[in-house]
Chain A
Amino acid sequence: MKKYDAEVLARDLGFFCYDGTVKLMLQEIRDRAQGVIAWVIVVLISVPFALWGIQDYLGGGGDQVVADVDGSEITQQQLDTAVQNYRISLRRQLGANYRPDLINNEQMREDVLNRLIQQRLVNEQKQHLKLSVGDEAIKQQIRMIPAFQRNGKFDRQSFDQLLAQQGQTEATLVQSIRFELESKIVSNAVQATGFITDSAFDEQIRLRLQKRDLRYLTLPYSLFEDQQTITEEAVSDWYESHQQDYVEPEKVRLAYIELTPAAAGAAIEPFDEELRTLYEETKEQYVTKEQRRASHILLELKPDADEEQVAAVMQKAQSLLQQIKQGADFAEIAKQESADPGSAVQGGDLGFFEKGMMADEFDKVVFSLGKGQLSEPVRTSFGVHLIKLVDIRPSSGQTYEQALPKLREAYIEAESDRRFYDLAEEMANLVYEAQDNLESSARELGVEVQTSGWISRNQGEGIGEQAAVRAAAFSDDVLQQGNNSEIIELAADHLLAVRIIDHQDAQPRSLESVHDEVVEQLKQQAARKQALAAAQKLADEFAAGKSVDEYAAHDDYILKSPGYSTRTTAGIDRQILQTAFTMPKPKNDMPLFRAISLPSGDAVVVAVYGVQEGELSDLDKNSLQALREAASRTQAQDDYSDMLAQLKDQADIKISKPQP
């Protein structure tokens, strides 16, 4: 609320007019009446002023105004926020195709500002027309937002969650939806009531679905290309009169510092202790532990089995052990007797395993047996095992000394990464603080200052290949002010900062250096001209009665006869179609001819033999209906944008000079 509201209120309440007078009056009352009642009055009077005043102080004090639309101000901050939001939505829409370096920032700012102005205009119109929407409509709108729905129904929980995530409250959401809905009332009304009359629609159909009977003869550019001779005089004449086209663009050479993990870690010389610690910590990468291969026969015995059962199973185990010792095949017996289904079929084989992978009691026995030895029965929670140690693979790998080169490498890599992220932060500060040189930053960071070759706005080698580098080099801050650039992030682990060490203004190129270019260009022009002249001559001859069919099997020229075609028939050059539909309509079956030149340099004679107007019957009912709706919608949309233009014309809009 603005200040004058307080004044209006004061007037309405029958008091005085201005802040100053009100203060005087308060003073007078205070002086004259010091009793309780007087204080009550004073307090009562102060309350509204105290409350109404607050918003003035809270409101963006001192924020710059970039535009004023009939007294409604758009501030710098509002514009910045809108531009930022626009960027975010662009990035979201374009995804990987988002190329900030291709965006003309000034143009974008202007577009966004225009949009904000339009918003204000629409808002003003809506207020003037006293248009508002009810709470019920807003609730309905909220319930229809898919993000707030679960299984197609509005879900209070999702609603609350999403709002919290976006830092919004229900009140701010309602407000923005209200604003949006109210802003659309007029536009929706114009749309919903748009119409197109039958006669206007028939006319559109007649034009849009019109067909023309055409043929075209192409005279290829290549036929004329080699016939051209260009004199030296023509070259120098052309050069003199087109000097502005032969300019070496403005160029700069850059000093730059580059920070990558490799650069950050260049000076790392690990201590022996550090590498030893790393060796111990990552030993499994260098050393393989001893592994043993065993087979077993499992006899089932529950952990809570009573003595009798234990004795029975143990006895069985002993007897199997005896059989094996007497020469029976371990694998055979395992197949028949073992209660471990996984290994039984393998003859009890468990494969190689390291210490610590099996049950404790089992492990202990396996790693105490010699190769080929049999164990006594062993009891575990699974039951009773007979174990045969089949093979031992001794521990292998590299000792600390052997692993040293690898350890160094790993250490330096990890340490480089760590230092890179530390230095990255420091780099931004250093480069910003020492605006006028890179050397001091380079020293602090322990990197070298390097120099680039010549780089123009659009081209360069080395770091100049990067559009982001070129954009930074030619930014106002770097080019004009001579400062360091901001940190340029070529990749998450590749940072640059640049400054200009050499600058070359745009300068004319000498005739010698452009000679061949000019010759080539003049040749092209002449060839085009000759081709078009040849086509023109043919067109005239055709008009005078020469038969087009003569060229049906011509060696060099190409005749195409697509017949009746629409404005958008595929396979025919756009420009040929456009020409055919721009030409007058043939009368009395007399075809018409026109010669044109295509961007490729080919010349074409376009011939129109007849015209078929579009008719409603060309389309089925559904397409007709769709087309009619589209026509009426387009018209209504155009009407509405005219209306916006009118609002703009009638408003008093002041735009301050564009802010960077």
Chain B
Amino acid sequence: MEIYENEDEQLEALKRWWKENGKSIIGGLVLGLAGVLGWQAWQSYQVTRSEEGAQRFGSLVISMRQHEIDRASDQARQLMQDYENEAYGVFAAWAMARQNVTLGDLESATSSLQWAIEHSPDDSLKSISRLRLVRVLLAIGRLDEAEKIIGASRNQAFAAEFSMLSGDIQLARGKPQLARQAYQQALLEGVKDRNLLEMKLNDLGDAGLPAAVDAS
């Protein structure tokens, strides 16, 4: 460590030190400050965007409830455009699909849900979109496609629901035996609407049931 004789020398040394390092310190400060400010601006932009998304989606839901079909479609389309690959884009596509189904336009509903799958920012949203797509495909008899999606989306959490839909598909194909297998699988996997599943299963009737049941 250097020892300084007097104040002048000290000041001189400090000036020298500042000359050597001053630029980088100031530069660093400016850069850092810009970084912090930029990050904050980005954050606040994100928040504003998300808040706006929430508001616009809310108003889309209201339009839908009030059966303002054209307005709801416009709002959904706009949201899908502005929030492509974001949650609100997917929500809007779901809303679109719902409206399509209500209007009996199932073909369009499949497109909306297909779009939702392709633009999902998140696996869990994707699972819901798939589930809904399978339901629509089943309703219009595009059974192979429905089965393909089920095959592709074997996710443990949704397994039971998909198994039940597999059963519905088999039943639509006229194969009650396979339907029973799928329903029983769904039962094992713990389907949420057990009541409905049991009704479906029981309705299959005689295939392979014991003749008498001792309830005790």
Using CB atoms and an 8 Å cutoff, list the residues of chain A in contact with chain B: 9, 12-15, 31-35, 37-38, 125, 128-134, 137, 185-186, 189-190, 192-200, 203-204, 207-208, 210, 528, 532, 536, 539, 567, 575, 579, 581-585, 594-599, 634-635, 637-650
B54 touches A639 (CB 8 A): no
Q: Are B139 and A642 in contact (CB under 8 A)?
A: no
**A536-B212 in contact (CB<8A):** yes
Contacts of B209 in A (CB 8 A): 582, 584
A118 to chain B, nearest CB (A): 13
Docked complex Cα distance between A32 and B10 (Å): 9
Residues in chain A near residue B36, CB distance under 8 A: 9, 12
Q: Beyond A189-B94, A649-B157, is A539–B205 a contact (Cβ under 8 Å)? A: no
Partner of B51, one of A31, A132, A200, A532: A132
B104: A residues at CB distance < 8 A: 198
> Are B31 and A14 touching (Cβ within 8 A)?
yes
A-B contact pairs, 11 of them (CB 8 A): A13-B33, A14-B28, A35-B10, A125-B122, A134-B55, A195-B101, A207-B200, A597-B214, A642-B192, A646-B157, A650-B124
Closest-CB distance, A165 to chain B (whole angstroms): 31
Instruction: Provide the residues of chain B in CB contact with A637, threshold 8 Å.
Output: 192
Contact of B206 among A9, A581, A584, A599 (CB under 8 A): A584
Interface contact B10-A647, CB-CB below 8 Å: no
Q: Which of A31, A207, A597, A641 contacts B1 (CB 8 A)?
A: A31
| Among candidates A12, A133, A567, A594, residue contacting B212 with C-beta atoms closer than 8 Å | A594
Label chain B's interface by main secondary structure: helix
Give Cα distance in the complex from A584 to B168, angstroms: 19
Q: Who on chain A is nearest to B36 by CB?
A: A12
Decide if A207 touches B17 in the complex (CB within 8 Å): no
Tell which of A189, A207, A641 has the most Cβ of chain B within 10 Å: A189
Inter-chain CB contacts under 8 Å: number:
182
Shortest Cβ distance from A638 into B: residue: B192
B interface residue numbers (CB < 8 A to A): 1-2, 10-11, 13-14, 17-18, 24-25, 27-29, 31-33, 35-36, 46-47, 49-52, 54-55, 57, 61, 64, 86-87, 91, 94-95, 97-98, 101-102, 104, 106, 121-125, 127-128, 131-132, 135-136, 138-139, 155-158, 160-161, 168, 192-193, 196, 199-200, 202-203, 205-206, 209, 211-216
Chain A residues near B136 (CB-CB < 8 A)? 197
CB nearest neighbor in A for B64: A192
Contact of A129 among B1, B87, B215 (CB under 8 A): B87
Q: What residues of B have a CB within 8 angstroms of the CB of A644 in the complex?
A: 157
- Give the residue name and chain of the B residue nearest to A31 (CB): B1
Query: How many angstroms between the C-alpha atoms of A199 and B156 in the bound complex?
Result: 26
Using CB atoms, name the residue of chain B closest to A613: B203
The minimal Cβ–Cβ distance linking B63 to chain A, given in whole angstroms, is 11
- Could you tell me the distance in whole angstroms from the C-beta of B53 to the nearest C-beta in chain A? 8
Complex contact B55–A33 (CB within 8 A): no
Chain A nearest CB, measured from B128 CB (Å): 6
Question: Closest approach, in angstroms, between the C-beta of A565 and any C-beta of chain B?
Answer: 15
- CB-defined contacts of A193 to chain B, threshold 8 Å: 91, 94-95, 97-98
B215 contact set on A, CB distance < 8 A? 575, 579, 596-599
For the complex formed, measure the closest distance between the CB of B139 and the CB atoms of chain A, giving whole angstroms. Answer: 4
Beyond A195-B98, A198-B139, A594-B212, 11 additional contacts (C-beta under 8 Å) are: A32-B2, A130-B86, A131-B87, A137-B55, A190-B94, A195-B132, A196-B135, A528-B216, A635-B193, A649-B155, A650-B123
Known contacts A130-B87, A646-B123, A189 near B29 by CB under 8 Å: no
B212 adjacent to A539 (CB under 8 Å): yes
Determine the distance from Cα of A354 to Cα of B77 in the docked complex, in whole angstroms.
Answer: 92
Contacts of B127 in A (CB 8 A): 642-643, 646
Q: A129-B121, A597-B214 are in contact. Are A14 and B32 (CB under 8 A)?
A: yes
